[in-house]
Amino acid sequence: MMQGVGSTALLAPPADPNDPLFLQLQAAYTWLKKPNGSLSVRLLHDGSERSRHARAVHNYNQGIENAIVRFRETWGGFQHFELEEGLDLLLGDYCMSRSNPGHTENVSFQAMCERLSPGGHQQLVRRPAFTVIRGFFHAFIALYSIPLAHTEPYEGPRRDLELARVSLAELESLSHEPVGVLKEHRQEVVELEEICTEHLNALNGDRTADLALLKETRSAFEQPHLPPGHPHFGKPIGQLHLEGLPLDQQDEAVNQARQMLFEACKEHATSHTLPRAGPLIQELLGVLQDPKLFAPLQRRKQCIQDLSEVTALYSGNVEAEHAVVYLEAVRAVLEGAASAVRFAEMPEERQLRRVKHCEDILKRVRAYQAGYTQLPDANVVAGYFAQALPEFRPAGHWGHVVPTLPANDLFQRQFSLARLGTLQRRSSNGGRVSVCFPRARGSRW
């Protein structure tokens, strides 16, 4: 960066008004402006307090305009990667400031110069790609952490409610309007308010799910740290991957990820909506140009999901209590950081086999439940998961829960839907008992 922001800055060439990076920086600054006459200010009863707030908002917004002008005038005095970092800082400030306005206090031109060159020391090298993209993940999470508000516009129900309220207000202003008509319109407003609340709760539910997905992806990117003894111990897998890419590919990944964050901020600033996280994450992982990095993490996640769904089917079943404890212990092992590394280091064919086995267990448990209106024996299901995920068995003695099932027969005969009945035989009194647990009461597999 140029040395200082005084006389030297005046010698720097200005920005091209059509420079895409300058236009993005200008837009990010604009989104950080505070609205004049906001609701919080109008609700203040004290006129002098309203005036003070209005002046503060005006001064803040004027500072943003001044910063845009100063950046335009001194554009050529910055290195390109410094300007990119400046945009990243502003996008991060936007995401953070949606729930904490204090994050917008350091966006003046002077403050930005200090943030780009702490202590006045010029940056000589650009930030590592891993550092930049990790910052983008944190910004996305901050943006998706904001719950929707009733004041935010959305299609359909909100518009209908506003129209109904306007109609009701007009009717109430007419003294000759029959009471029955007013009552009918008031009831319509109440019903639309309930619909809007349900709609808003659904949107917030989507936002919560999106936030959880983003956090999981960030965790996959930043963790696990490789275990002691590994030649790259202490480095996240995402960092190892990015450092192994050619510099031009690293730059391209960073640029595309930055563009995605910019577009998400733009959508939120202009329409108060956000894209669903699922497609966004898929695009982001594609940007990172590494099917081998995240594919194992996604496969492990699928195993965890299938295991969790089976466990949930048995939750609350007293007879399945011990099996549920075992399945939860398996899930805890599988979710651990060390297991992420172990899963990633397995040959791809074995990873796919683990995913297929877990998927088949879930499908067949559901099919059995649909066909017999009851669940299979939980202990036998636990035994099949023990076979499906042999690398992730929990420590301890589980012989009283997990039966020893025929080796190499997991998905050939015994676990075929057509042969579910062959794992059972009739007892002397006509009841069904398990071949794995002959004394078990009410075995259903």
pLDDT in tens, 283-332: 887 777 665 556 777 788 899 999 999 999 999 889 999 999 999 999 99
Is pTM beyond 0.85? Reply is no
What does pLDDT average to over the chain?
A: 78
Q: Is pLDDT larger for residue 274 or for residue 287?
A: 274
Q: List beta partners, residue 434.
A: 424
Residue 357: is its pLDDT beyond 90?
yes
Task: Give the pLDDT score at 233.
Answer: 66
Least confident segment among 141-155, 405-419, 426-440: 426-440
Helix axes 179-222, 129-144, angle to 10 degrees: 160
% of the chain exceeding 70 in pLDDT: 73
Of 387 and 173, the one with more pLDDT: 387
| pLDDT reading at 430 higher than 80 | no
Q: Which amino acid is at 263?
A: E
Contact (CB, 8 A) for 444 and 375 = yes
Average pLDDT over residues 95-103: 78
Q: Which of 290-294, 328-332, 393-397, 426-430 has the lowest mean pLDDT?
A: 426-430
DSSP state of 424: E
The alpha-helical segments, DSSP class H, found in 32-156 are 39-42, 47-74, 80-97, 109-116, 129-144
pLDDT-derived band at 337 (thresholds 50, 70, 90) equals low
Instruction: Kindly report which listed range (290-294, 358-362, 372-376) carries the lowest average pLDDT score.
Output: 290-294
Backbone angles phi, psi at 435, to 5 degrees: -70, -25
In the predicted model, is pLDDT for residue 267 greater than 90?
Answer: yes
* Number of Cβ within a 10 Å radius of residue 194: 12
Segment 63-84 shows an average pLDDT of 94
Residues 6+ apart with CB under 8 A from 193: 161
Polymer length in residues for the chain: 445
Percent of the chain with pLDDT over 90: 34
- Is residue 193 over pLDDT 60? yes
How confident is the model at residue 262, as a pLDDT?
97
* The amino acid at 410: L
pLDDT at 269 over 60: yes
Which residue, chain included where needed, has tokens 């100063």? 70
Query: Which range in 82-96, 234-248, 414-428 is most confidently predicted, on average pLDDT?
Result: 82-96
With a cut of 70, say whether residue 338 has pLDDT above it: yes
Q: What gap in Å lies between CA 407 and CA 246, rounded to an integer?
A: 46
